Structure formats: structure tokens, C-alpha cells
């Protein structure tokens, strides 16, 4: 069957489609011993031999889905050249490689989904599907109503307006305040930058919801496999059977 090379790599659990495209552009992917750098290149998945960084690739027969409550201070990567703490030390030993769906920066804690289902990961992080992400945010000071109204309408970051956010002021005090914010974009450090834009410093940031998943009673540093109904719910949201 003819299939796009980036889709084949995502279904094999190598990376998301976007990351697979980057690998292709970097010349790290070979098909039948030839380096392929053409985005949109199609292969015959039954006949062609695909390699990434010299390693032959097969599509995974079974997918793994797990949820981690990431503590602050851990990098969302499986390997760091500077030997800093990474989420890999928190995960179980698996025969199949999983990768994070989206990112949380080192100082942000909370819900992180990991899988080797590249197609699902691609859709969950694609802006087209508007997957909801919910955070608790502690900021210095008490945001005024006009500042929160700006966030609800969208704020310009680097010349591009953010999508409207749902913001609720939960515990306001003059010294520091707790808010809940829901967004569906995935820009780098988006929430921290949004609060910086209205002149409020983020003291703590925790993701408590993603695509309908919640942490529930999962403690910091703990993980669990997703239930079948949760997996089905994720796929339904992004139009997968």
C-alpha cells in the first residue's frame, strides 16, 4: 500500500508526523538505501526498506498509551546530553519506545501523555483539532478585570494573536493569586508569555487537563496506562476510528 513516509514513521512510533518531516529534511531517513529529503514522499510499506539513522524501521503492531504526572524540574525528553533530570527516569521499562505528546517546560508540572501512536499524537497536537488543555496558574499579585479580559479576547505574541482563552480567577489576593486557564493552542511557553504580556509573573504552572484526561488521584512523579475508554475518547475527538 502506498503511504506517505512521514505517516509511516509516525505509525512506527518513531516520532510525530511533524518531527518525522524534520528528520526527513535533515537527511536522516533512507528508503531502499537512498537518502530521501522530499516531504510528501510515498513508499510501498509492504516492499520498501526504511531506515532512520541507520536503523531499520518496522511499524508497531501494538500501541502504548500512558499518562504521567510530571514534577517540576524534569525535562520532557528521553535523553539529555548535559545529564539533567528527564522524564525517562520516571517511566516504566518498556519494550516499545514512547514519546511525549506536546511539551511541558522543565519548571511546569502536571499531566503529560506519552505514546508510540504517531498518528494520534500528530492529531492531538495539530491546531486544526483544537484540543483543550487546562492549567492551574499561580501568579504574583492580583490580575485586574481588564487584564483578564485581554486574555479572554486574545493577546498578540510576536505579532500573532493568541486564540481566546477561558480564564477563571479562583483565589485572588494582593500578594499572589490562583487562576484556571483553558487554551487549545500549543505555542512554546504560551501561558507564561501571555501573563508576561499583561505584566504578571507566573510563580507556578500545572497542567491538570488534556483532551478530556485528568490527573485525578495520580500523585506527582507517578504514571499509569490509559484505559480503553480513554483511548477511544481521544481518538473520537480527533476523528480517528
Structural domain boundaries in the chain: 2-56, 65-127+213-237, 132-210
This prediction's pTM: 0.77
Cα–Cα distance, 17 to 111 (Å, whole number): 22
How many C-beta atoms surround the C-beta of residue 115 within 10 A?
24
In CATH terms, 2-56 corresponds, of 3.40.50.2300, 3.10.290.10, 3.40.50.2000, 3.30.70.270, to 3.10.290.10
d(CA 78, CA 74): 10
Residue 64, all three cell numbers: 502504548
**Active-site hit among 53, 105, 144, 199:** 105
- The CA-to-CA distance between both ends of the chain, in Å, stands at 19
For each of the chain's 241 residues, which pLDDT tens digit applies?
788 999 888 777 677 788 889 999 999 999 999 999 999 999 987 788 999 998 888 765 578 999 999 999 999 998 888 999 999 999 988 877 888 998 899 999 999 999 988 889 989 999 899 999 999 999 999 999 999 999 999 999 988 999 999 999 999 999 999 999 999 987 889 999 999 999 999 999 999 999 999 999 999 999 999 999 999 999 999 998 7
Please indicate whether residue 53 is annotated as part of the active site.
Answer: no
Amino acid at each position: 500500500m502506498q503511504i506517505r513516509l512521514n505517516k509511516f514513521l509516525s505509525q512506527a512510533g518513531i516520532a510525530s508526523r511533524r518531527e518525522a518531516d524534520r528528520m526527513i529534511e535533515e537527511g536522516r531517513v533512507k528508503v531502499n538505501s537512498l537518502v530521501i529529503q522530499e516531504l510528501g514522499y510515498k513508499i510501498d510499506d509492504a516492499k520498501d526498506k526504511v531506515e532512520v539513522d541507520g536503523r531499520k524501521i518496522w511499524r508497531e503492531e501494538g500501541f502504548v498509551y500512558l499518562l504521567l504526572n510530571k514534577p517540576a524540574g524534569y525535562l520532557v525528553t528521553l535523553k539529555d546530553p548535559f545529564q539533567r533530570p528527564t522524564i525517562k527516569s520516571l517511566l516504566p521499562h518498556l519494550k516499545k519506545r514512547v514519546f511525549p505528546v506536546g511539551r511541558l517546560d522543565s519548571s511546569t508540572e502536571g499531566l503529560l501523555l506519552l505514546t508510540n501512536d504517531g498518528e494520534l499524537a500528530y492529531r492531538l497536537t495539530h491546531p486544526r483539532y483544537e484540543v483543550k488543555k487546562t492549567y492551574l496558574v499561580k501568579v504574583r499579585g492580583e490580575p485586574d478585570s481588564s487584564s483578564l479580559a485581554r486574555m479572554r479576547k486574545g493577546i498578540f505574541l510576536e505579532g500573532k494573536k493568541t486564540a481566546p482563552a477561558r480564564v477563571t480567577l479562583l483565589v485572588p489576593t494582593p500578594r499572589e493569586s490562583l487562576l484556571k486557564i483553558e487554551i487549545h493552542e500549543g505555542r512554546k511557553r504560551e501561558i507564561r508569555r501571555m501573563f508576561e504580556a499583561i505584566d504578571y509573573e507566573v510563580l507556578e504552572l500545572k497542567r491538570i487537563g488534556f483532551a478530556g484526561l485528568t490527573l485525578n488521584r495520580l500523585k506527582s512523579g507517578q504514571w499509569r496506562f490509559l484505559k480503553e475508554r480513554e483511548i477511544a475518547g481521544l481518538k473520537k475527538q480527533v476523528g480517528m476510528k
